[in-house]
Amino acid sequence: MQKIPIFIILAMMMACTQTPIEVNRYTIEQFYDNLSIGGGSFSADETRLLVSSNQTGIYNVFTLNIDGSGEQQLTFSDNESMFAISYFPEDDRFLYSADQGGNEISHIYMQEPDGTVTDLTPWEGAVSQFRGWTRDFNHFHFTSNKRDPRFFDMYRMDIATFDSEMIYENKENLTPASPSNTGRYMVLTQDLTTSNNEMYLLDLETGTLSHISEHEGNATYSPADFSLDDQYLYYLTNEDNEFTYVASYHLETGEKEVVYQSDWDVWYAYYSFNEKYQVIGINEDAKTVVKIFDTATGEEATIPDFGNRDISGVSISRSEKLIRLAAGSPTSPGDLYMHEFGGEGFTRLTHSLNKEINEADLVAGEVIRYPSYDGLEIPAILYKPHEATEKNQVPALLWIHGGPGGQSRLGFSSLIQYFVNHGYAILAVNNRGSSGYGKTFYDLDNQRHGEDDLMDCVKAKEFLAGLGYIDMEKIGIMGGSYGGYMTMAALTFQPEEFAVGVNLFGVTNWLRTLKSVPPYWEAFKKALYDELGDPFTEDSVRLYKISPLFHAKNVTKPLMVLQGANDPRVLQVESDEIVAGVKENGVPVEYVIFDDEGHGFIKKENQIKGYGQILEFLDKYLKGVTEE
């Protein structure tokens, strides 16, 4: 007799003891009336925060009073999203960024208190990115590819005249990071592969370039911060370690030391304005854990406890007295809070969950693991509908993240909650190649895309079968970007495994996609080709083999595709052609194109339309609900 894995036995026992819970059903309009709020730059007088909010239907810039007494809308766009960057250090002017219809050609804009707007980087076709204020507040740094579309140079802009000066011309195809506090040094990185890069220190005064990451084997390096006196560079690396940690480099002696290490990847690390505090963010099993250390004592600073809400990010005011915290949960969008160091409690600044939605009707994700075809343990996040039981089995969707190399995480998703609320179990798979689980796991899909990582998804069905409350005849697969590719790979190369597929702007022709990457990806292209394959070499044979477009005749299950017309990463032609190819099979295909979106949909009107149609598609072809 074949032995049943213990995880299946336990899951079946749990399913038998659970009873269905009745919940209220919410519309797509209600779920996308939740707010998405980000940012949090303090005003010069530390009485307000500059944030981005989509409460108007697209993102606009708002300011929030830190005492919780109200907000004020500062930009009033109704066609292009505007994202807050920063207040000016000593007055109420502010910077924001915006592109055109999701084309990712972002400019930096200045708005004055009277509403006057100036495009500070007006160069056609050039991407400009803010890189921070100088310590004297007279300038800010930014990168731009206006000189050459392939390369980002570093500039310094005078905020009195708004003249910009190039301080680093990128002739070596490196990636520049923000200059040091004194302005003398700058770190440059060079991507060799997605798992291996180099780091250099440039002395802007002398022009000396020092290689500071000499190492053996694969290791990644990323600059984090400089000390105020420019004696130390702090950086993130996984050199000689499975997980990323914080290290320091002494600029004079070259000595390196480990500063902070965990059993998980450190995501970010930086100091407050005068180095009173050090902030460290850790990616701990698909959720962010934030630690704040008092640099004088080395002790961890006390911050408010938000119960079931996790703090995902913080910003500390220039005076180092106030801290803005962002906290949320899988059942509630992130909100912003204000806390004073040394004080008690906090002030809540936002209420992002639609007041019409009862949080108890939503579902918190659970981190699980299951064995793949070769025994490798695959992490995933399971969302079980309240009404699901062994006697009331529900359909399920595999949710595949983007990347390659992304990660599904514990956090709020209006779309996931919408599907779960309407009776679909969701298993968000972190297949091999996902980030967050060590560099060995991350490397396992290199030039194995559409093969081993796809089998991780197929084997997830065995875990779902063991739960007892899943209707195993009704398993679909869905994903965006690389997850969209995985969806098409599943329908093409494992055509009988999934009942339906939903492809959101996914790659279907790797040969074309890798040949047509945006020019400003030049610094990353070599690493991208190393992981996926070089379309200009014999790798093209394999890329053809794993491209769903060339095997569209294999698709036999209903397909839905969503695409932004302005997507610079996955061109619309990718979706046009796969839709046409699958239609030739006589298979039901639904196709939604948004003329004003890029790689992802950020306008509420489009989210409501597109995502609402996904549920209708799933109800018809997966759940089997017939319209009355």
Q: How many CB atoms lie under 10 A from the CB of residue 114?
A: 5
Distance in angstroms (rounded) separating the CA atoms of residues 419 and 423: 7
pLDDT of residue 20: 64
Q: Distance (Å, rounded) from C-alpha 501 to C-alpha 482? A: 14
Query: What is the band of 15 on the pLDDT scale with cuts at 50, 70, 90?
Result: very low
Give the residue from 437, 524, 523, 432 showing the smallest Cα distance to 244: 437
Mean pLDDT of 600-606: 95
Mean pLDDT of the chain: 94
Region(s) of the chain under CATH 2.120.10.30: 35-170
Q: Which pLDDT score, from 0 to 100, does residue 344 have?
A: 87
What lies within 8 Å, CB to CB, of 364 at 6+ separation is 308, 329, 330, 331
SS3 readout for 257-271 = EEEECCCCEEEEEEE
Confidence of residue 431 (pLDDT cuts 50, 70, 90): very high
- Segment 609-618 mean pLDDT: 98
CA distance 527 to 530: 5
Which residue type, as a one-letter code, is found at position 215? H
Average pLDDT over residues 423-452: 96
The reported pLDDT for the residue numbered 208 is 95
| pLDDT confidence tier of residue 626, bands split at 50, 70 and 90 | low
Q: Dihedral (C-alpha) 440, 442, 445, 447: value to the nearest 10 degrees?
A: -90
Q: What is the pLDDT of residue 410?
A: 94
290 three-class SS: strand
Smallest CA-to-CA distance from 191 within 496, 625, 522 is with 522
Structure tokens at 26: 């919410």
452-467 vs 6-17: helix crossing angle, rounded to 10 = 40
CATH architecture type of domain 357-509+547-623: 3-Layer(aba) Sandwich (3.40)
**What pTM did the predictor assign?**
0.93
Query: How large is the average pLDDT for residues 540-566?
Result: 97
Q: What is the pLDDT of residue 195?
A: 94
Which residue spans of the chain are classified as CATH 3.40.50.1820?
357-509+547-623
End-to-end CA distance of the chain: 47
List, for residues 325-373, the tens digit of each pLDDT value.
Answer: 999 999 999 999 999 998 888 999 999 999 999 999 999 999 999 999 9
**CA pseudo-torsion sign 54, 59, 63, 66:** positive
pLDDT at 7: 45
Asked: is 35-170 a CATH 3.40.50.300 domain? The reply is no
- Express each pLDDT in 47-75 by its tens digit: 999 999 999 999 999 999 999 999 999 99
- Segment (H or E) for 338: strand 332-340
DSSP 92-122: S-EEEEE-STT----EEEEE-TT--EEESS-
How high is the pLDDT of residue 522?
A: 87
Q: 521: pLDDT confidence band, cut at 50, 70 and 90?
A: confident
pLDDT-based confidence at 172, cuts 50/70/90?
A: confident
